[in-house]
Structure formats: C-alpha cells, structure tokens
Amino acid sequence: MNSPTLSKFKKAMERIYFKSSLAELTEDSARSWSPAQLSEGHRGRYLWTDGFGVINFLTLFQETKEKKFLTCAHRLIEAVHSTLGFSRDGTARLHPATAEKPLLGGLRIGKLDEGGEDGDGQYFHYLTIWMFALLQTGLASQNDSYISEANSLAKAIHSKFMTGRKLERPRMYWKMSMDLSHPLVQSEVSLSLFKQPN
C-alpha cells in the first residue's frame, strides 16, 4: 500500500473509530482504547461495519507492522462481543452462550429498531464476515482462541438458519430472530447452486 493510500485508509478509520488523531495512539493507549460509538448501531455497535473494522485494523497492522493496530482489532472484538453477544438491554448473553463460549447464541446485527422486518436480529452474511474477521485475527496474532470462537459461532448458527437440510434443495433463511428461534423474514435463499455435482 503506497503512502497516500495508507494515509487515506488511516483517515477513514480515524473518522469511524476515534475521537482524536490516530497519530496520538500508542501501544499503551491502544490497550485501554474503546471504539467510538457507531451512529447506525444499537448501543454503538453494528456487526457489518465492525466486521470490516477488524479486518481494516489487521490490514493496518500488516502494512505498518505497528502492534497498536492489532491491539485495536482485539479491543473492537471485545466491544462487539460484550454488546452484540448480549440482549438489547445488556443484561444477559444470547442463549445458550456462556463466559467460556460467548458466541453460542450468535451475535445481533445491531439494528436501531428492536422489531419488524428491518429490526434487530441475526443475518447469516453478517455472521460469516465476523467469522472471517476472527479467523484473520487468530492468524495475525497467532492466537488460536479466535479461531476456536469462529468455529464455535459457525457450529452454533448453521442449523438455525438452514431449513430442509435433507431435501434435494435445502434452503437458508437470510434473517433470524435475535434468539435464533424463528425466521424474521420468510424469504429464503436456495442452495441448489452449491449442490455438489453427481
């Protein structure tokens, strides 16, 4: 990444996640940094944006070799798990998640509205971006716990989104309720394109 491109990249991350200049960030201050609240996210977090946020911090770490950016990726992951891995009032983890297995209940989208077709819930494509971000963080930091969390999340949500798994044309709901108990939108994605050839 050339210098002007890297500078623009840093400016974009600064606008989204910091209240001060990124140049002021040190490794020490990164350890106690809290990501700025996103205006479009419930309680300041939105899974799609934050998924790419983690990936962008990893990119900055890769390009600059500055460990503070890897630390920011860790801190953003913590913020997402402590917000979107809980009920909207923040009092309970999404069932059946535990402190040891924080992603067993999935992660909320972070929509501002609680109900309705465009309200909060869980999107499979948002969750897959988050799994990718966790896997890349595990590789970048050589920390297998992130890879384990990504695997745990995949196992926890897959069967909840799938319907007709034993049929010739299994399908997948694209949006589920916050507790993964039922689809919020009845439209489904056909998985016939992904069927293995005979």
Tell me: the pLDDT tens digits for 4-14? 999 999 999 99
- For residue 197, the model assigns a pLDDT of 45
Average pLDDT of the segment spanning 122-131 = 96
pLDDT band for position 194 (50/70/90)?
very low
pLDDT of 193 > 60? The answer is no
DSSP-derived 3-state class of residue 1: coil
Residue whose C-alpha is closest to residue 83's, from 49, 31, 52, 44: 44
Residue whose C-alpha is closest to residue 35's, from 63, 76, 6: 76
Tell me: the pLDDT tens digits for 22-51? 889 999 999 999 999 999 999 999 999 999
Residue owning tokens 């490794």: 27
Residue owning tokens 């309200």: 119
Interatomic CA distance for residues 156 and 160, integer angstroms: 8
Residue whose C-alpha is closest to residue 48's, from 146, 154, 128, 134: 128
Q: Which two tokens stand for residue 164?
A: 């007709």
pLDDT band for position 196 (50/70/90)?
very low
Average pLDDT of the segment spanning 51-71 = 97
Instruction: Tell me: cis bond preceding 197? Omega within 30 of 0 counts.
Output: no
- For residue 20, the model assigns a pLDDT of 79
Report the 10 Å Cβ neighbour count for 117. 11
- For residue 167, the model assigns a pLDDT of 83
Tell me: the pLDDT tens digits for 144-166? 999 999 999 999 999 999 888 78
* Burial of 70: CB neighbours in 10 Å, binned 0-12, 13-18, 19+: buried
Length of the chain: 198
Percent of the chain with pLDDT over 70: 94
